[in-house]
A = this chain, B = another copy of it.
């Protein structure tokens, strides 16, 4: 997905929010905002929005002198999610369709997104989990995912935010493929999960955690490691979580199933969704309108 003009003011708002959370000195914030404005003025809008996000959060880390500014937030999100894991697992296992219920909770966890709204996303987690029982999903696509999963010998689940990882683990527990990979960022960006966050969420017990070698939100394949790209190409099924993965992989040359909450009006408008929708889609079915 390309970058739209509406993304530009939104980038600036995101940058300001991120700087506010990590820098107290007003002059430093202003200098960082100036850098973001210069980058934005030269940004190639044929690239996806997360590519600008990557540049912004490099500036945030540089100016704050902190290589993982969201470390505490990520810890808290994982801890909050771990508190409910047993209860959610029971709900999944006692449901009529555990795979689908697990997918719903995995999408519910996608609310823990600090790129979109930075404030205390975990307070909204409980509301999101309550919706997991009956929020409409796209059944056709889900059934075609189920059919693919039945036959797949390997699955790559590409994660998104720390905390959401805990619910992804519950989804993986429902998969039957002999080999399952869980993809994480190569290094910190926003509250996206890195290797240590996946470990803290117990994903090593149910999958092989694989780093993508990049610090971009989403999955910008040309910036990912050769090893990650090989897994991406070879796995029978690829599932990618969250908006940034949709934005960066919806033009990929292989089939990818996306599971996400629609939080951005630009994505909603261009792909015929409403903000607040929970979506299971493929690049094919989620074509630009």
Enumerate chain A interface residues (CB-CB to B < 8 A). 5-6, 8-10, 12-13, 16, 19, 26, 29-30, 33-34, 37-38, 40-42, 45
Chain A interface SS verdict (over half): helix
Count of identical protomers in the assembly = 2
Residues of B close to A5: CB separation below 8 A: 16, 19, 26, 29-30, 33
Cα-based distance from A16 to B10 in the complex (angstroms): 11
Residues of B close to A16: CB separation below 8 A: 5-6, 8-9
A37 CB contact (under 8 Å) in B19, B26, B40: B40
Q: Which of A29, A37, A40 has the most CB of B within 10 A?
A: A37
Residues of B close to A26: CB separation below 8 A: 5
A252 CB, nearest partner CB in chain B, Å = 25
**Residue in chain B with minimal CB distance to A19:** B5
Q: Is the CB of B29 within 8 A of A34?
A: no
With A5-B16, A8-B12, A16-B6 given, is the CB distance from A34 to B41 under 8 Å?
yes
Residues of B close to A12: CB separation below 8 A: 8-9, 12
A225 CB, nearest partner CB in chain B, Å = 32
A41 CB contact (under 8 Å) in B6, B8, B41: B41
**Residue in chain B with minimal CB distance to A45:** B30
A114 CB, nearest partner CB in chain B, Å = 17
With A9-B12, A16-B8 given, is the CB distance from A41 to B37 under 8 Å?
yes
